[in-house]
Chains A and B, each alone.
Chain A
């Protein structure tokens, strides 16, 4: 059974909630209009259409547009060899959608990563903490309005609270006829 057939089955079950399946480069994408029902759609896809494997969840920041966030699910059926991309939009004021950890447990870390990087919250997630950045970090670094060089933070005693020096790198070496220990690269200090 092809993915397009599977996608049209999904479309038959959920009707107007789903957009028409679009196929590009052998990949099929459907868009869900009602974000609140994402867990239900995923559950149906897993239990009735055989999409037993969640490959990945990623997120997009459509900065300057409304709705600002898009969450992208990559579904796969290991036995029927089908792949489906499911997209849904989340507005900036809300920045929240239901979790799918109840459908696939692998969603746990993917959702934590999206929360960490984009600041989109997943309602019902068992343990929604930052995963790659440290606890207490105040920004969401993959947002389009976050600069590449980083931002200073006001949290005391947290590592790397300064903007990264882009030219020359964070380490400097002192040239000259000094001994090996003094020639070692050092972290640039502000007064230098």
Chain B
């Protein structure tokens, strides 16, 4: 009690003056904020170095490569069919679509892309569209969660779980499907699978409608996404965006329409486009694409050659023993089949020298494979044109001028996957 100290209070007015002086010294001073590589809103291992002036982003430098596994190098050292499992791990939210894209690229190189059995084409389209629904459900769910609408995330993930169950009964794996083979698919649809798909697509439209009621006219959602991250038509083309990000900016370009592959020519669907190019438009495009995918799957189920459980035994692989593995029971009884099996497993198929590029309309955008072959069983060079890599390159142009809190909105609306970006 005896040690009472005097505390000296400075004159408040003088204090205010010193604060103002301090602030003046800070004028023009910028802060560098390191976002990622491990951050919930960066959807993987994306790192962005942000330069901030208060709350405003003045510069953004994306840093990718944390998930680089050297897929292109690995591809040069194995046969074509051996690379199928690696394509699962590119865009790991839509492995079925990657499988289809890769198989189609190699088939184009082989020159058998127009000989695929019709049943195989329909199965592949169903797979690619299921993957699109799955990827967009996750894309929209995570986007909404990042912006604060957690309910949407729970709804979409419940639905996505059903797609995983379908994947499991079709391919044996929920996540790493590795379903296609060069010249066909690894197995026909199991009994009852087509019925299950029909049941699922009828359920998912209800879910999509529910998500729509939660978001599309929600004031908070609209305020957070409208006029945020506007990408003009010219910029979208100049930066090579593809998929929903390109169409969100009003460019009507869809590879399924522009260069129809598989049986897309026989199916009816619309290509949704945005008008402004902001985050809200990209969200709307994804929602509509899911409905169009449902429409496509319904048509495929109606038209699939051989019917649901294929009682007429329509083939799902091309009829060429030098490309597709023979049936197992024939390998041990027939000389020719044994030779084909042995050569395909040890050396791979004999691919002619040449080069092709094939672009596939993946959920995230255009997944392209450029394959340069010098003949033989392995590619000389396999370049993967991944949509996420190209879509992310616009960040340094798009981010400056936005508020710090818009970062998560923009990242969510671009819907990228680092496994594919870094390869």
| Chain A residues within 8 Å of B, Cβ to Cβ | 24-25, 27, 29, 52-56, 58-61, 72, 74, 78, 81, 83, 85, 104-106, 108-110, 113, 117, 130-134, 141-142, 146, 148
Contacts and interface: CB of A to CB of B under 8 A. Distances in A.
B79 to A, nearest CB: 15
A55 B73 contact: no
A55 B357 contact: yes
Contacts of A74: 357, 368, 370, 385
Contact of A60 (B64, B372, B385, B393): B372
Nearest to B386: A56
B381 A58 contact: yes
Contact of A58 (B238, B253, B370, B422): B370
Contact of A105 (B64, B239, B383, B389): B239
A134 B66 CA distance: 9
B65 A106 contact: no
Contacts of A132: 64-65, 68, 422-423
Contacts of A59: 383
Given A53-B237, A60-B372, A141 B70 contact: yes
Chain A binding surface, main DSSP class: mixed
B30 interface: no
A142 B73 contact: yes
Q: Which 8 A-B pairs have the closest CB atoms?
A: A106-B240, A58-B383, A132-B65, A56-B385, A109-B393, A132-B68, A106-B239, A105-B238
Contacts of A61: 381
Contacts of B366: 55
B267 interface: no
Contacts of A148: 73-74, 77
Contacts of B237: 52-53, 78
A53 B64 contact: no
Interface of B: 64-65, 68, 70, 72-74, 77, 108-109, 111, 237-240, 251, 253, 258-259, 354-357, 359, 366, 368, 370, 372, 380-381, 383, 385, 389-390, 393, 397, 422-423
A106 B238 contact: yes
B250 to A, nearest CB: 12
A40 B366 CA distance: 27
A52 B233 CA distance: 12
A106 B390 contact: yes
Contacts of A134: 65
B354 A109 contact: no
A41 B422 CA distance: 30
A134 B422 CA distance: 12
Contact of B389 (A24, A52, A109, A117): A109
Contacts of A56: 357, 368, 370, 383, 385
A109 B390 contact: yes
B273 to A, nearest CB: 13
A60 B76 CA distance: 12
A179 B134 CA distance: 38
A40 B239 CA distance: 19
A77 to B, nearest CB: 10
A191 B117 CA distance: 56
Given A25-B356, A60-B381, A131-B64, A78 B368 contact: no
A24 B354 contact: yes
A105 B258 CA distance: 23
A83 B68 CA distance: 29
B368 A55 contact: yes
7 contacts: A55-B368, A55-B385, A56-B383, A58-B383, A130-B65, A134-B65, A142-B72
A10 to B, nearest CB: 18
Given A106-B238, A132-B64, 17 more contacts: A24-B354, A24-B356, A25-B356, A27-B357, A55-B385, A56-B385, A58-B385, A60-B380, A72-B355, A85-B355, A105-B238, A105-B239, A106-B240, A132-B65, A141-B70, A142-B72, A148-B77
